[in-house]
Amino acid sequence: MRGISVGESGVVQPDDVRIIRALQIAPRASFASIANVLGLTEGSVNRRYRRLRADGVVRVAGIVNPGALGQSRWLVRLRCRPGSVSAIADALAKRDDVNWVALSAAGCEITCATQSRTREQREDLLGQRLPRTAAVLDINAFAMLRQFMGGRGHYWAALQGTLSPEQEAMLGSEGSPFTEAPVVTRDPVRLTAEDEKILGSLAADGRASLVDLAAAADSTPGRVSRRLHALLERRVVHIDVEIAAAALGYHARANLWLRVHPSAVKSVGRTLAQEPEIAFAAAVSGPYNIHAVAHCRDLDELFEFTTGRIGSLADLQSMEVSPVLQHVKQAGTLLSGDRLVDTRRTRA
């Protein structure tokens, strides 16, 4: 496995990357536990994490899975009039029911992902607001059918090898590891008012202590601990470690739209999930039956990756590579340039 490339600016140091990897595996682990595994001091881990967060390199947040609440998830491609995409993308990024926004196709296309908590919310966005936007020329919406990669548990394979297997075993893992599963559960969870308060606090800070979560939910740390465990086990929420990929030397991002033989969708999706460059992969409805997001160091590496390992996949019929010009929002976190912006923390 190739090692991670530290950014040329020198802001992100090797120990920083080791801390990020430790957080991927156990995002709510104490600084003392992480320090013990990495051979650092607790104070050093604390300072480095807070600097990485302040610099917009990393953010830990609780991300709600609408599928666990019985709601489908959709990918949307919007073709817009030249000069209008920035305003539309910014408006979409401000919506809580849109958790991923990127600009591509020479600045004329927006790709976004919805995470609507109710059917009415989704239908309002896809059936009313977007079609009535004058600057939107064309809309294509694709239902997510099966997720192969992404969310809690995928750990972004590019960071594998940063820690030894023994160190990763010492850290363990919080919550259920990611396994391939239906996007929408057949037994949706009904959230209580207490659940909503817990989820709200985790959205602001995925490492919020049980004491803080209990205070926010007007409950006790013991009760909150049990409820949080249940929410994690039922995949209502996962504690996500968002990373500004460019800060780690990954400057070329692209949406990949693959058309494969229907009988090969699962095998190709599972193969993509093992590739270090792939940060997300899912089976979708529409003319392309697999969508993936790739992070590469530069366009040449993207070319080699897509023409070599992806292009040689059995049963691949066609592929569209759409480089991302600007990432506006990822996993619910806004970006400014190539850095994460913790708007919830700023408002607080």
Tens-place pLDDT, residues 85-96: 999 999 999 999
Residue 120 has pLDDT above 60, yes or no: yes
Confidence of residue 175 (pLDDT cuts 50, 70, 90): very low
Helices 42-54 and 31-38, packing angle to 10 deg: 110
CATH code: domain 190-235 is 1.10.10
Instruction: Say what percent of the chain tops pLDDT 70.
Output: 91
Comparing 5 with 73, which gets the higher pLDDT?
73
Q: How far is the C-alpha of 80 from the C-alpha of 112, rounded, in Å?
A: 13
Average predicted confidence (pLDDT) for the chain: 89
Q: What is the pLDDT of residue 151?
A: 60
Q: What is the per-residue pLDDT across 262-272, written as a single tens digit (0 to 9) for each?
A: 999 999 999 99
Averaged pLDDT for residues 284-291: 96
Of 43-47, 142-146, 168-172, 255-259, minimum mean pLDDT range: 168-172
Three-state SS at 13: coil
Report which residue type is found at 231: L
Beta strands per DSSP E along the chain = 58-64, 74-80, 98-104, 109-114, 136-149, 181-182, 237-243, 252-260, 278-284, 290-296, 316-330, 333-336, 339-341
Cβ-proximal residues to 313 (8 Å cutoff; 6+ apart), any chain = 260, 268, 271
Other beta carbons within 10 angstroms of residue 121's beta carbon come to 17
Residue 176 has pLDDT above 90, yes or no: no
Q: How far is the C-alpha of 22 from the C-alpha of 32, rounded, in Å?
A: 12
Averaged pLDDT for residues 233-252: 91
